């Protein structure tokens, strides 16, 4: 057996294992699903620093997964080698948002299902997942909390400030209190009655209040 025979039998026969129409259809659908996943990610993103590169990664990941699964499903021997090759891949990038993991798995799952030929499952499943994410991620169950930092001269100023906050907010809870000679520092969590923050201006005008700071809190919270 010559080198040409080996090359012909082991390589060129795999060229037609996946038809050109199947490859084009799978990659086009993978691109479409990847763009859909990217749009849902952009719609539901609630972090501080938006990364457009991560959105593009979702599109690429869907298409790459489809490409790999197409190759695996066309050749049993190649599938065994692919499992060994992919098992040594390690990713060092830290995932800061827990929801980002769901989008990564969504992109991978969509690529796998699509390449397996289950096109209706990939399309309708992605639509259902996207609708659920839009409904629940952007849902706001309660009023966003704020942190008020106060620096006061003494007890009388503290009592007046607390009465003012209780009257002008829905809820006021003391988180921490630091007492020094001649001064008191309070950190309080408040829920606003409306979007107006004019009460902070009035708070700073109370005798004995030396400093009043209102800070928005964007983290996770209960109720």
Q: What is the pLDDT of residues 112-122, one digit of tens each?
A: 888 888 888 88
pLDDT at 123 over 80: yes
Judging by beta carbons within 10 Å of its beta carbon (0-12, 13-18, 19+), is residue 14 exposed, middle or buried? middle
pLDDT at 197 over 80: no
Q: Which residue, among 95, 3, 87, has the nearest Cα to 58 in the 3D structure?
A: 95
Give the pLDDT score at 217: 67
Q: Which residue has the higher pLDDT, 30 or 142?
A: 30
Give the pLDDT score at 142: 57
Q: Which residue, among 36, 27, 63, has the nearest Cα to 125 in the 3D structure?
A: 36
Superfamily holding 145-216: ACT domain (3.30.70.260)
Helices and strands in the chain: count of H runs, count of E runs: 8, 4
pLDDT at 1 over 80: no
- Residue ranges, CATH 3.30.70.260, the chain: 145-216
Give the pLDDT score at 147: 85
Any idea what DSSP says for residue 143?
A: P
Average pLDDT, whole number, for the chain?
76
Give the pLDDT score at 35: 92
| Mean pLDDT on 71-85 | 60
169 pairs with which residues across the strands? 192
Q: What angle separates helix 20-44 from helix 119-137, to the nearest 10 degrees?
A: 10
pLDDT band at 223 (very low <50, low <70, confident <90, very high): very low
Query: CB count, 10 Å around CB of 176?
Result: 9
Tens of pLDDT, residues 150-171: 888 877 888 888 888 888 888 8
Give the pLDDT score at 36: 93
pLDDT at 80 over 90: no
| Mean pLDDT on 126-133 | 90
3-state SS assignment for residue 147? strand
Tens of pLDDT, residues 19-74: 778 788 888 999 999 999 999 988 888 766 667 788 888 899 899 888 888 877 76
């Amino acid at each position: 057996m010559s080198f040409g025979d080996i090359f012909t039998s082991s390589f060129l026969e795999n060229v037609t294992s996946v038809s050109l129409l199947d490859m084009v259809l799978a990659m086009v659908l993978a691109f479409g699903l990847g763009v859909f996943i990217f749009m849902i990610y952009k719609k539901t993103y609630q972090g501080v620093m938006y990364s457009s590169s991560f959105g593009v990664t979702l599109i690429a990941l869907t298409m790459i997964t489809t490409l790999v699964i197409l190759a695996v499903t066309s050749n049993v021997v190649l599938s065994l080698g692919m499992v060994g090759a992919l098992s040594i891949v390690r990713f060092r990038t830290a995932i800061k948002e827990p929801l980002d993991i769901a989008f990564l798995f969504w992109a991978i799952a969509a690529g796998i299902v699509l390449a397996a030929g289950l096109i209706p499952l990939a399309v309708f499943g992605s639509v259902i997942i996207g609708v659920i994410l839009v409904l629940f991620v952007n849902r706001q169950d309660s009023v966003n909390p704020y942190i008020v930092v106060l620096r006061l001269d003494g007890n009388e100023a503290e009592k007046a400030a607390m009465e003012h906050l209780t009257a002008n907010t829905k809820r006021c809870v003391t988180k921490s209190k630091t007492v020094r000679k001649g001064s008191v520092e309070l950190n309080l969590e408040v829920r606003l009655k409306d979007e107006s923050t004019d009460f902070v201006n009035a708070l700073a005008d109370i005798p004995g209040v030396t400093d009043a700071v209102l800070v928005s809190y964007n983290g996770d919270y209960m109720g």
